[in-house]
Amino acid sequence: MLRQEPLAGGTGSPASQSWRWLLGLVVALVLIRWGLPYALRGGSKGQVAHWLNRLAPPKGEGTITILDSRLLGASALHLVAVRGRVLLIGSTSQQVSLLMDVTEQPETASAFDQVLSQAKPFSPEPTLQEEMRETTQMLEVFQQRLQAVRERLAS
């Protein structure tokens, strides 16, 4: 059986709960009406506008996009896309260096053609009858050579 226990602290009357809810709604509307436009205009130091501009996607052709970055102690590696090329760049506090161009070159042959060129020709497993025929032929050749050697030794 479940026990019913009263909540800690008074919950207040329904009228006081309504007033709290209404006061919270008014504060939220005021913040939306005047606080949000002020923050988007830049606020006191333009920090919010600067932060929102950094979130904007790159515009147009010729932009530079950082695909990935990894920190390595005091230096860092950056994978950067610039005008259709992908570059690996190393940076320290004193300099930035191009390490390599990692742009994928289009392949002339399709993947199927590459696999086909590496494949070995199909050779089915020989059956027992085929192996017996080959063995018999080899034995006949061996017997003929042996007979020729005996004739040479006899003469």
Residues in the chain with pLDDT < 70? 1-12, 14, 39-62, 105-109
Say whether 39 sits in a helix, a strand or coil. Answer: helix
pLDDT given for residue 148 in this prediction = 93
Tokens found for residue 109: 């042959």
**Dihedral angle computed from the Cα positions of residues 82, 84, 90 and 91, in that order, rounded to the nearest 10 degrees:** 10
Complete DSSP assignment for 108-150: SS-HHHHHHHHPPPP-PPPPHHHHHHHHHHHHHHHHHHHHHHH
Rounded to whole angstroms, how far apart are CA atoms 131 and 45? 90
What is the CA 104 to chain-centroid distance, rounded? 15
Nearest alpha carbon to residue 80 among 56, 60, 59, 96: 96
Residues with Cβ < 8 Å from 134, sequence gap 6 or more? 126
